[in-house]
Structure 1
């Protein structure tokens, strides 16, 4: 483990990186806006669970294989890109109104109202967040490149140090991701946001498709 000063630097850098918007943040915010803070927090927990996959993989050398093998990287890259595009297309063509059950006019008995969205289960939200992160090979390469910078060359048990630092990074990110969910859920209290919610799926879906295409066109960052 690094000394206290370097540990603080590691934590600070991790916080800044977690504040950067990407497909993970978009996934959390979308579910929090549509289904409330609990759904957003569950989405965040799913993403963090997927992050642990990369932490353990990097600790045992699987991420090094992804960095060195063009074939392994490409296979996981296309799987991740296909999943993001699939999520995006589903959002773009979603039917119904995105009003939550507890919001004004969200009742299915409202006259002339379109049928509401079927609320996804918390398990499906968690699973989707997990896959969004676990199928992204760039996350694996990130951990392989970022975490070792804070492990001293003379450290005897480097795999244990990697796991410890990766866990610190992931635990800190839970709070930040939950903050995204809280902020998004707070926004739904404003009428203007509620009235514009029918565009949320289309915009989020287009962004997911864009993230998927960007991942599909990405080169192995280790080369």
Structure 2
């Protein structure tokens, strides 16, 4: 993989990571409620899920998962159900999608935040399809494949950690009091609507994509 191909890969991955999605909403919510530092557990969870998908894609297992309608459907519908739950919670709970009440932050363990980030991302089959479709496009078969996969995998991990950490701090900023309550409420409702929309879109995802 030459430098030009690598830069295209890196740019594409960065844009995808920075685009608003279920994981972004989750991490921003954690940052708003628990602070950016504690939300790093959630960031690590999202990044870990992407590492799993990257390894599955790199080893070819992803092709088998996509080929198995049953396994793919299980992953998809678990993700749909969880996103719908998060969306409804954001729309109808008093705290909303981006919770700014920090009174319970000390009672929430890091493993719970990690698990939430991990589940949200792992239950998104589009992440699996993304890596499955992306990796082969940038691998030069005439050069050491393992080295190329290591470079791309490490790059994805760094981009994930940096981008989601940024969203954790954005969430924390929302809870600092510098943003009006009406704006936070609008963000809450928008987050809930987006999560429901993402769930509906995920329901339509096919392994033939």
Taking structure 2 as the reference length, what is the TM-score of the superposition? 0.83
Stretches of structure 2 that go unaligned for 5 or more consecutive residues are: none
Matched, 1:215 2:165: no
Aligned residues: 207
**2:117 counterpart (106, 122, 129):** 129
1:162 matched residue in structure 2: 149
Match 1:152 to one of 123, 130, 140: 140
Match of 1:181 among 140, 162, 168: 168
Contact 2:38–2:110 at 8 Å: present in 1 too? yes
Distance 1:118 1:199, change over 3 A: farther
TM-score in terms of structure 1 length: 0.79
1:140 aligns with 2:128: yes
Q: Is 2:50 the partner of 1:51?
A: yes
> Residue 84 in 1 paired to residue 83 in 2?
yes
Q: Deviations over 1:9-35 (max 9, x none)?
A: 322222122111111111111121222
CA distance in 2, matches of 1:144, 1:72: 16
Distance change >3 Å, CA 126–CA 33, structure 1 → 2? same
Instruction: Compare CA radii of gyration and give the structure with the larger one.
Output: 1
Distance in 2 between the 1:96 and 1:23 partners? Answer: 18
Mapped partners of 1:122, 1:3: distance in 2: 40
Counterpart CA distance in 1 for 2:24 and 2:191 is 11
C-alpha offsets along residues 167-218 of structure 1, whole Å, 9 cap, x if unaligned? 3212222111111112232233344434654565554333322212221122
Give me the whole-angstrom Cα distance separating, in 1, the residues matched to 2:57 and 2:69: 17
Structure 1 gap segments, 5+ residues each: 107-115
Q: 1:200 to 1:5 in 2, by over 3 A?
A: closer
Whether the 8 Å contact between 1:56 and 1:163 is mirrored in structure 2 is no
Q: Bigger CA drift: 176-185 or 36-45?
A: 36-45
Indicate if the aligned counterparts of 1:42 and 1:125 stay in contact, CA closer than 8 A. Answer: yes
Task: Supply the RMSD in Å over aligned alpha carbons.
Answer: 2.7
